[in-house]
């Protein structure tokens, strides 16, 4: 379950950098919970090809995160702004400085 959450979060950030086929395979496997065999049958390809594609997608997403770091940055913002109230307080302070 943790793996699914990890890759779903990365997918949300980097899906625009994947091919349409990679996005389709990701959705089938991680969101629709189709088995490798079901994906292979639906696309007329081998289970091995599907498996390699899924492994490749994971590697690509991990590589994007390693190089770009959007998830890490987003997580750091969440720590800095724990609640909506924290954000409003920070914005009010900013408004006072700028005004």
Tens digit of pLDDT for each residue in 66-91?
999 988 888 777 776 666 677 677 67
CB 25 within 8 A of CB 57: yes
Same-domain status, 85 and 60: no
Same-domain status, 53 and 74: no
Mean pLDDT, residues 51-79 taken together: 91
What confidence category does residue 95 fall into, taking pLDDT thresholds of 50, 70 and 90?
Answer: low
Same-domain status, 74 and 28: no
Same-domain status, 63 and 78: no
Same-domain status, 61 and 97: no
Which of 4-8, 45-49, 76-80 is predicted with the least confidence, judged by mean pLDDT?
Answer: 76-80
Same-domain status, 3 and 41: yes
Q: Which domain holds residue 77?
A: 70-99
Same-domain status, 60 and 93: no
**C-alpha–C-alpha distance, residues 52 and 36, integer Å:** 10
In Å, what is the CA distance from 13 to each residue of 17, 52, 55, 90? Answer: 9, 22, 18, 25
For residue 32, pLDDT beyond 90: yes
Residue 27: CATH number of its domain: 1.10.10.10
Scan for tokens 């959007």, then name that residue.
70
Specify the pLDDT at position 94. Answer: 64
Residue 57 burial (10 A CB sphere; 0-12, 13-18, 19+): buried
Specify the pLDDT at position 99. Answer: 47
Average pLDDT taken over every residue of the chain: 88
Same-domain status, 61 and 74: no
């Amino acid at each position: 379950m943790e793996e699914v959450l990890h890759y779903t979060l990365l997918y949300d950030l980097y899906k625009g950098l994947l091919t349409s086929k990679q996005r389709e395979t990701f959705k089938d496997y991680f969101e629709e919970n189709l088995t490798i065999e079901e994906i292979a049958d639906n696309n007329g390809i081998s289970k091995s090809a599907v498996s390699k594609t899924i492994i490749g997608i994971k590697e690509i997403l991990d590589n994007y995160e390693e190089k770009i770091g959007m998830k890490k940055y987003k997580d750091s913002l969440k720590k800095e702004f724990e609640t909506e109230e924290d954000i409003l307080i920070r914005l009010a302070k900013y408004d006072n400085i700028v005004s």
